[in-house]
Amino acid sequence: MVSQHTPSTGLHPTHHPHRAAPAATANDRTSSVPDESLDAAPRLDGVRIAMINWRDPWQSVAGGAETYAWQISRYLVRCGAEVVFVTSRERGQARAETRDGIAIRRMGGPWTVYLRVMLWLLVRRRRFHAAFDCMNGIPFFSRIVLPRRTRVISIVHHVHDLQFNAYFSPPLARLGRFIESWVASRVYASCPTVTVSESSRRAMRDKLGWRAPITIVHNGGPARAQLPPTPPRTDLGSPAIVFLGRLVVQKRVTRVVDAVAELRSRYPGLRAHIVGRGPESVPLRERIDHHGLHDVVHLHGFLPEAEKNAVLAGATLHVTPSEFEGWGLTVIEAAAHGVPTVAYDVDGLRDSVRHGETGWLVRDGETLTDVVERALRELADPVRAAEIRQACRDWAAQFTWERSGCAMAHLLAAELHRTPERRGLLR
């Protein structure tokens, strides 16, 4: 674990001096769907799609990538497509089931899933008109096993790069980076690629040498009409910090505990809520014990949607200490409740957090504790707090799963139209 006071190398891009990054292509674009176009999504009746993702949303350490893949799948089904969600299988999960009209096929564990999926696709290689290959550091190489007429769209949330170091020995980490950059950029050179933020697109060009056109289709979020009203805060002297997300090593949630330990003497009523589950719950409890924060930091584990929303709505500030995010889905979830975020100035998060408007970014030379304290000082002013809360809600309202799904449906329809034998499906 990197010390809170030592800037992590994850903050700095990894450059490849012997490889020039491809310039943005003429086909690079950001999908933007106005409200009046939400009912104009193309029909995809009869189109058979494989959505290939490392996990499904019901696995114990599922996160934003799983939510993204599932929400897009739901929208494509609404457009008439037949979607099979192909993923790994966690102990106790059914191998096959159907939810929301989506057929789920689970096979293999976290690492064996790659080979199992390739074999599964190879046997069914003529079944699908399109496949979404979601690359979580390592792609599924569906482009190799599926016929050329099957349209493959690659989805890359962010560049993993130094994140491989958190899980693997140095030789395996180097292999992972080699596959993510040199191999994947060539295998998918003819495939349109989707990412979720402008800084992730730049990182793909700079760090991975990605060759294919890249379209940004942002993460969605809850529509404002679906949210309960946010209660006005009456306890500004007793601020509450919240972390929402997976409890895994790269999220570095223990830094939230360390920040609370440093700040509690200056904010006697300070509380912290950690919502999520995962293997890092054990180190978190140990860190809470170390600082004697049992009455200050509350580990909620996984919460149902209504309870999660209640915790978010009651928070003063959302903190995400991760240095590896494609966008930061929880940033928009918090903003929808009028709660600003403190995050590191890294790819993805520098796009989802509008510095000084909907949150604050931790920049080089600053610590997380410094910026959290600055945020709490600003939010102690009722006028400034109200201004920030409104800015958060307005920002979050721009990102809905309707817009994201509609943008992806248009991208898929354009790809299918490029294949003459598939044009009839879209008439």
pLDDT for position 427: 47
- Mean pLDDT of the chain, nearest integer: 88
Answer with the residue of higher pLDDT: 153 or 30.
153
Q: Does CATH number 1.10.3720.10 belong to domain 15-33+42-220+400-420?
A: no
- Rounded Cα distance between 199 and 40, Å, is 29
Quick: pLDDT tens for 26-57.
Answer: 567 676 555 545 568 899 999 999 999 999 99
CA 410 and chain centroid, separation:
21
Instruction: Provide the percentage of residues in the chain whose pLDDT is more than 70.
Output: 85
Rounded to a whole number, what is the largest CA-CA distance in the chain?
Answer: 69
pLDDT for position 139: 94
Quick: pLDDT tens for 374-390.
Answer: 999 999 999 999 999 99
Residue 238 scores a pLDDT above 90: no
Residue 13 scores a pLDDT above 90: no
Residue 12 scores a pLDDT above 50: no
Residue 69 sits at φ, ψ, to 5 deg, of -60, -40
Same fold, 15-33+42-220+400-420 and 224-396: yes
| pLDDT (average), residues 273-278 | 94
Quick: pLDDT tens for 390-413.
Answer: 999 999 999 999 999 999 999 999
pLDDT for position 34: 54
Rg over alpha carbons for the chain, rounded to the nearest Å, is: 22
Quick: pLDDT tens for 86-105.
Answer: 999 999 999 999 999 999 99
Residue 14 scores a pLDDT above 60: no
Architecture of domain 224-396: 3-Layer(aba) Sandwich (3.40)
| pLDDT (average), residues 305-318 | 94
Residue with tokens 């080089």: 364
Domain layout of the chain by residue ranges: 15-33+42-220+400-420, 224-396
Answer yes or no: are the C-beta atoms of 143 and 188 closer than 8 Å: yes
